[in-house]
Amino acid sequence: MLRRAFLFAAVLALLLATPLLLSQYLTMQSLPGSVVVESGTSVALPFTLNQASNVSDSFSATEPVEAFVVTVAQFQSYSQSSSLSNFEFASGNLNSGTVDVVLPAGQYDLTFFNFGSNPSTVSYTPLTKSAVSSSPVSVANLISVGANYTLSPGQYVALELHVPQNSSKIQAYFSFGTPTVSYLMTKEQFAGFLKSGNNISAIYTSESGSFTNALHANVNAGNYYFVTFNPSTSGNASLIFPQGLIITSRNIFLTQPSTSVQIGQLEYIVNFSSTGDVYYVPFGISINGEMQESADPILFLERNGTYNWSLNSVDGKNSLSISNNMTVAADFSISPASGQVSIRGRPVDIVINFYLVLYTITFVETGLPLGSLWSVSMNITTVDSTTNQIVFHLTNYSNYLFTVNPSQGYTATPSSGTIALEGVNVTKDITFTPS
């Protein structure tokens, strides 16, 4: 999947009064040029438009930089307040990118910001200016400035955008509170997104964490969907539009653009938890081609449907066996160890029972008078008996130590030793003789 995670968090940091970046003014050249942007600085390349124009430029950088187009007033405001809250265009934090924006006549700066820790050499192509018949019209009320949405696990928000004219541009700057995925899709692509979680196609894709991303997409007339999905199983995700979402026309005024918001539950949590004789024992579950292993409850996000699942490891061991109609692994009998789960518009809980498989070590004595008291100590436990047998119930282990405590006046043979339990019950004979 194409990833376009634009690291734009530094702009938000500026909004929170970070130190002012030192700026250097250079003359915009008509030929390709290059500048060195030191760490924590910016370079401003001024240019003038005598009439409304489509301005474009490509750049590449040895270290990621953020390219902005700002008016002189916007840059001066930033210089005085350390707050770059208004701009005409932002590229995102990139090693290479393209500036493409329609601007009215005026004075501007193409400014490269280096928020990294290393100097960056930025190479740029000649700035091209193509006159347009009228100034661009921005439709800011499609998504208002500061609009935000909160998505629970498995939820999506789809902004349906009606673009009435060809040669338009959809622009948005948006940030995520947690790792989230966003798409710009056609109507047909959105229908495919709702039907299947695989092989998703889109005009634009962004997968990112807590960053602000930049969307610039040239589109023709039609209906489009800006879709954000929360793939997390552990918490809500936030989607914020600090400057709203706008549509611009290159040559003519836009007429009747519109938007609508749809929020839906695309996937549901399947929660696998354990009970029984387990204490922080990791186990692994596979479902629908995905595998997870944890000692905590294991959470999957799945769409409506029926899926096969199976337990494929316990305590790091992935050898499961069938014994006496029980599934056994790592000394546990497990039920269920596999099955089907049907998701019908709500979360599903599956509880797996883990019980230790116990075997017996039986000590059988001979030589003591009937009713005599004797005992055996093993596994930090001492068991007394006045019969000829003492029984321990234990899990598999290769080296159980035991000690026989005889009745007064008798000696036990053997008086101590080791016993291995390896999946079968064990009997140990003890002989007492008068001492």
Q: Where are the domains of the chain?
A: 9-131, 147-265, 268-356, 359-434
pLDDT of residue 10: 34
pLDDT of residue 188: 92
Q: Which of 294, 237, 315, 304 is nearest to 270 (CA)?
A: 304
Question: 3-state class of 258 per DSSP?
Answer: strand
Instruction: Determine the Cα–Cα distance for residues 183 and 181; give it in Å rounded to an integer.
Output: 7
Question: 3-state class of 278 per DSSP?
Answer: coil
Q: Which of 288, 282, 286, 270 is nearest to 351 (CA)?
A: 270
- Same CATH topology for 268-356 and 359-434: the answer is yes
Instruction: Determine the Cα–Cα distance for residues 108 and 48; give it in Å rounded to an integer.
Output: 6
Residue range 359-434 in CATH 3.40.190.10: no
pLDDT of residue 381: 92
Q: Where are the beta strands (DSSP E) in 242-347?
A: 245-249, 258-265, 268-276, 283-287, 290-294, 298-302, 305-314, 321-323, 326-329, 332-335, 338-343
Q: Where are the beta strands (DSSP E) in 332-373?
A: 332-335, 338-343, 348-356, 359-366
pLDDT of residue 7: 30
Distance spanning both ends of the chain, measured CA to CA:
81
Which residues on neighbouring strands pair with residue 163, listed in sequence order? 222
Using the 8-state DSSP alphabet, how is residue 319 labeled? -
pLDDT of residue 179: 72
Q: Which of 337, 341, 317, 315 is nearest to 325 (CA)?
A: 337
Q: Tally the residues of the chain.
A: 435
Instruction: Determine the Cα–Cα distance for residues 77 and 83; give it in Å rounded to an integer.
Output: 8
Collect the ranges in the chain with pLDDT lower than 50: 1-20, 30, 210
Q: Could you identify the residue written with the tokens 């004797």?
A: 374
Q: Could you identify the residue written with the tokens 């836009």?
A: 254
Q: Which of 266, 261, 265, 161 is nearest to 221 (CA)?
A: 161
∠ CA 120-125-126 to the nearest 5 degrees?
A: 130
pLDDT of residue 202: 92
325 contacts: CB under 8 Å, gap ≥ 6:
none
Instruction: Determine the Cα–Cα distance for residues 49 and 349; give it in Å rounded to an integer.
Output: 63
The correct CATH number of 147-265 out of 3.40.50.720, 2.60.120.680, 3.40.350.10, 3.40.50.2300 is 2.60.120.680
Query: Position 195: which residue type?
Result: K
pLDDT of residue 100: 82
Q: Which of 277, 268, 354 is nearest to 313 (CA)?
A: 354
Whether 361 and 286 have beta carbons less than 8 Å apart is answered as: no
Q: Where are the beta strands (DSSP E) in 89-235?
A: 89-103, 106-113, 120-124, 128-131, 147-151, 155-163, 168-176, 180-186, 204-208, 212-219, 222-229
Residue 176 burial (10 A CB sphere; 0-12, 13-18, 19+): buried
Q: Which of 4, 8, 137 is nearest to 68 (CA)?
A: 8
pLDDT of residue 75: 78
Asked if residue 414 has a cis previous peptide bond (ω within 30° of 0), the answer is yes
pLDDT of residue 14: 34
pLDDT of residue 83: 57
Which pair of structure tokens corresponds to residue 218?
């040239």
Using the 8-state DSSP alphabet, how is residue 317 labeled? B
Q: Which of 176, 179, 174, 281 is nearest to 234 (CA)?
A: 179
Instruction: Determine the Cα–Cα distance for residues 110 and 27; give it in Å rounded to an integer.
Output: 10
CA 317 to chain centre: 26
Q: H or E stretch including 390?
A: strand 389-394
The correct CATH number of 9-131 out of 2.60.120.680, 1.10.10.1800, 3.90.650.10, 3.40.718.10 is 2.60.120.680
Instruction: Determine the Cα–Cα distance for residues 116 and 93; give it in Å rounded to an integer.
Output: 10
∠ CA 228-232-235 to the nearest 5 degrees?
A: 105
Architecture of domain 268-356: Sandwich (2.60)
